[in-house]
Amino acid sequence: MTTFRYPNPMFSFFKKKPEPPDLSHAPRDYSFLRTDIHSHLVPGIDDGSPDLETSLYMIRRLKELGYTKLITTPHIHLDFYANTEEIISSQFNRLKAFLAGHIPEMELAFAAEYYLDDSFLSSVLPQGLIHFGKIKYVLVEVSMAGWPRQFSDIIFTIQSQGYMPVLAHPERYLFEDNIKVYEQWKSKGLLLQMNLLAVSGYYGMGVKTAALRYLDHGLYDFCGTDAHHPRHLDAAARMAAEQPEMMLKLGEYPHWRNGGL
């Protein structure tokens, strides 16, 4: 007969507790990223900044948060935001001229965030894609409801045109949380971009849990604010001030490509 032994209370009392993490080196801002690759700062053309004054305020906030270069990415989604490179370029140049008198030191560029749907291959890709970086990165997103039909074919066709697709905020696609699926996509050359606020809980605990899992598995290549309005940047500032353990985790993550842009 097995005899049950109660744990020694003295042993439990004196059991060594794990050392708390050293947070003295936790970043206080996002200067370790240097470049933000995902935002909606061009005024009046999507669901981001509505006007020049709001854009100026947001860019000043991004500078305060430690960013030195911004690659802003308006939506291109034919059903809702039928932007073209000409439309984006025109409004971006208007923004840049306005900023010259206020914050000329901020390096600013534009790309786009492409929505992948049935019309992408026939109506959008033939016009050429707005990319960023020397490797011709292209930011893409999908529906929150599920993968588009022929997703594999779309990604392959983008790559065959000489672009490197970057999937925006996979942690927000709660229909797909299988690590192996994302590992398979990465093995085929698809890169992944995390939304900065995902790990703060801003989008809910489900998104935070997914983001931390993907981060721990080293799946992410880029981090972006996905800033649509000042509230996003206020939340980023709170995370920097109030979550040093998370800031340390982000600052020590070895796979960010932002700094090389």
The CA radius of gyration of the chain, in Å to the nearest whole number, is 21
User: Which pairs with CB-CB distance under 8 Å and at least 24 residues apart come from 230-235?
Assistant: 230/54, 230/57, 230/58, 230/61, 232/197, 232/202, 233/58, 233/61, 233/62, 233/65, 234/61, 235/197, 235/200, 235/202
- pLDDT tops 90 at residue 120: yes
pTM for the whole thing?
Answer: 0.91
Summarize pLDDT for 166-181 with one digit per residue, the tens.
Answer: 999 999 999 999 999 9
- pLDDT tops 80 at residue 10: no
Residue 248 to residue 147: CA distance in whole angstroms: 33
Report the amino acid identity of residue 57: Y
Class of domain 26-260: alpha beta
* Domain chopping of the chain, boundaries: 26-260
Q: Quick check: helix, strand or coil at residue 12?
A: helix
Q: How confident is the model at residue 24 (pLDDT cuts 50, 70, 90)?
A: confident
95-123: average pLDDT: 95
